[in-house]
Amino acid sequence: MNCPFCFHFDSKVVDSRPTDEGNAIRRRRECISCGKRFTTYEKVEEIPLIVVKKGGAREAFNRNKVLNGIIRACEKRPVSLSKIEHIVDEIEKQLYNSMEKEITTELIGRLVMDHIKKLDEVAYVRFASVYREFKDINTFMEELKKLLNEKNI
C-alpha cells in the first residue's frame, strides 16, 4: 500500500478492526519512510452477477426487482416483509454461491417459485401466473391441480 503523503511503497499495519457494518476491515497503517499514519479499508470483492433475459439482453442483477416481484405476489396476503426479505436474501445467496457469472431470469424465477410455494400458496399462484405466462384458464387450472396434488401427497 503506497503512502498517500510520500508515496513510499511500504507501510506497516498498526491497528486492524471490523467496520460497524461488518462488511469491511479498517486498517490503521504507518509509513515506513515518513512515519505518517493513514487508514485503509479492505473488503471482499464480489463477483458481479449478470442476468440474461429471455430476449438475450444482459443487465446487472438487481435484488430490488426480485423483492418487488415477491411483494406484488404477496400483496394483501398475511406475509411479513421480513419473511419476504429473508427469501430474497436466500435467493441472492444461492445465486452468488453458484459461482456463475451469468444467470438466467428462468433460474431466478424457479428459485423464487420454490421459496414462495412454501410461504403462501396464493402468492405462489400469482407469481406463477406471471412467470409462466399463463395463456388461458386451462394452463392456470393445470398449475392449481399440480399444487393440490402436491398438497395431498
pLDDT tens-digit readout, 39-82: 999 987 777 899 999 899 999 999 999 999 999 999 999 999 99
Q: Residue 56 region, left (φ>0) first, then alpha (ψ -120 to 50), else beta?
A: left
Q: What is the pLDDT of residues 89-113, one digit of tens each?
A: 999 999 988 888 899 999 999 999 8
What does the block give as the cell for 65?
Answer: 426487482
CA 90 vs. chain centroid, Å, equals 7
Nearest to 140 by CA among 118, 116, 124, 117: 124
In what order do the strands lie in the sheet containing 37-42? 11-18, 25-31, 37-42
Q: Full-prediction pTM beyond 0.95?
A: no
| Strand 102-104 versus strand 50-52 pairing type | parallel
User: Cell 441472492 appears where?
Assistant: 92
CA 113 to each of CA 47, 68, 71: distance values in angstroms, whole numbers, following the listed order: 24, 14, 13
Q: What is the pLDDT of residues 2-47, one digit of tens each?
A: 999 999 999 999 999 998 777 789 999 999 999 999 999 998 777 7
Are residues 15 and 28 in contact, defined by beta-carbon separation less than 8 angstroms?
yes
